[in-house]
Amino acid sequence: MNTRQKLNSQISIILFLLLVSVFSSCKNENDKQGHENHVQVEGDYICPMRCEGEKTYPQPGNCPVCKMKLQLVEEELVQTVSPNKQVLSRQATVKLQTENNAQSIKAQGFIDYDRNRNQNVSARFGGRIEKLYVKYNLKFVNKGDKILELYSPELNTIQEQHLFLLKTETEKTLLEQSREKLKLLGITEQQISTLENKGTFAQSISVYSPASGYIFFNSETQPNTGAEATQQTSMNSMSMSANTSVTQTSGSAGVQIREGMYVNKGETLFSINDLQTVWAIISIPSENHSSFQPNKQINIVSELFSAQILKGKILLTEKTFEDKQQRFVRVRIELPNPKALLKLNSLVTAEFPLASKTGFQVPTSAVYRTGMNAFVWVKTGTTKNGTGIFEIRKVTTGATSNETITILNGLAPDEEIALHAGALTDSETFLNGN
C-alpha cells in the first residue's frame, strides 16, 4: 500500500468516527427531550392520518389502511404540557363557587379586675400600722368601715404644735393655717374640735374605707396593664380626693401590710374595687390583632356558666407582645359584672369575628402547602378521551377548619381544581415550575 492509499484510509476512519459521534449525540439529545416532555397518560390509539376518522384502537400497532404507526390520542396534546407545571390526570375536581365567608377565631383568657374602678387609699404621712380590722384580700367592706389604725410621730408633732399655738393665743391666721395643715393630713373637723376642746389627741389615727367594695391590700394583685385608674385618697373621712392617672405595675415588690409594719408617706395602704365591671384578658395571635378595634362587641363564655353568652366590649389591644417567642398580643375586654359572679382569674373563651372575605371554600386536600406557600392544581383543559390537564398555581388562603380551607386569592369563579393536590405534586414541581 502506497502513502496515498494509507492517507485515504485514515481519512475514511476519521470520517466514520465523526459520523458515529454525531449520530450518538443526536440520539442522546432526542432521548433527553423525549424524557423531559414525557407525561404519563392513559388512552386509546389513533391513526395520525385519520384514515378511519376518529376511530381508535385499544392497543398500539399500525393503521390497517395506510400502515402508519398508531399514536396515542393525547400524543399531540402532550407536546403542549409544560414539564413540572402541568400534568394529565383523571382525578376528581372541585368547581369553585364564590362565597362570602364570615370568619371568626376563638381564644382563651382570664378575668381580671377593672383598674378604672379602683379607689386607692394612700398614706398622707409616714407611720406604723398599730391595728388591722380587715386581715385578708377581697373581703367586702362598706363605706365608712374602719380598716386600720396608724401611729405617726410626724402627725403627733404637728398636733402638739397646734395646741401650743392655741395656748399662746397666737393670731387667728396662724391657727387657721395650722387647722388646714391638719385637714390635709387627714384629720377631720370633729377630731380637730376634740383636740382643741380637750387639749389632748389620740396617739394613732383611724383609716376608713372611702367606698363599698372589695379590698385589696397587696400591690402584687395589680398586673402591668398600663391602665389609667381614678385614685381617690381617703383617710378617716377626708373630703379631699385626687383624680390622678396612675400606672399599676405587676410583679412590683408589693408586700401585704400587717400590724407593726411601717409605711412611708404616699405609699398605697389598700384599694377598694366594687367589681361591677371586670376585664377579660385574652391572648390572640399577632397576625389578627389589627382586626380588633376598640368598642367592638365580643361574645364571651365563662367556665363558671358555660351555657350563657356574655357580651363584652374591646377596650384596647396592647402594643407589646405577651410572649417574644410565641408572638401573641393581649386584648382587654370590658365585661359587666353587676352581681360579682365572674371570679377573678377564672377562665373565659372569647369569639372574635373577623372581617368577611370573599373567597372559595374547598376541601383541605385540594391545597398543597410547602413552607409558607400554598398551591392548587387548576384544570385547564381535557384531552379527547376525557383526561384532565392540570396546571399548578400559587394561591392565598384564609381560615382553616378540620375539613375545609378558604382560598382568598389566585382563583376565579367556575374554575376547577384537583381534589387531591398531593397526588399530583412532587418536589421537582416546586423547584422548576414556579
Q: What is the pLDDT along the chain (434 residues), one digit of tens a residue?
A: 566 666 667 666 666 666 556 455 544 444 444 433 334 444 577 787 777 876 888 888 898 888 888 877 654 343 344 555 678 888 899 988 766 555 677 888 999 999 899 999 988 888 899 999 998 888 999 999 999 999 988 888 888 888 888 888 667 788 888 888 888 887 778 888 888 888 877 788 888 899 999 999 864 434 333 333 333 333 433 322 333 223 333 333 344 788 889 988 888 889 999 999 999 999 887 766 666 778 888 899 999 988 899 999 998 887 766 566 667 788 899 999 988 899 999 999 998 877 656 678 889 999 988 767 889 999 999 888 788 899 989 998 877 766 888 888 888 888 999 998 888 876 444 434 44
- The Cα 234–Cα 232 span in angstroms is 6
Helix (H, G, I), strand (E, B) or coil at 312: strand
- The Cα 398–Cα 434 span in angstroms is 22
Which DSSP symbol is given to 237? T
Q: At what angle do helices 189-198 and 172-184 cross, to 10 degrees?
A: 130
Per-residue pLDDT, 140: 93
Contact 331, 382 (CB under 8 A): no
CA angle at 433 for the pair 431 and 434, rounded to the nearest 5°: 85
- The Cα 213–Cα 234 span in angstroms is 14
User: What is the CB neighbour count within 10 angstroms for residue 348?
Assistant: 23
Contact 405, 397 (CB under 8 A): yes
Q: Which domains does the chain have, with CATH numbers?
A: 38-75 (no CATH), 86-100+357-432 (2.40.420.20), 107-113+275-353 (2.40.30.170), 119-273 (no CATH)
- The Cα 425–Cα 286 span in angstroms is 32
Q: Name residue 278's beta-bridge partners.
A: 113, 335
User: What is the CB neighbour count within 10 angstroms for residue 231?
Assistant: 18
- The Cα 158–Cα 135 span in angstroms is 30
Q: What pTM value is reported for the model?
A: 0.51
How far separated are the first and last CA of the chain, in Å rounded?
65
DSSP string, 111-142: EEE-GGG-EEEE-SS-EEEEEES--STT-EE-
Q: At what angle do helices 153-167 and 172-184 cross, to 10 degrees?
A: 160
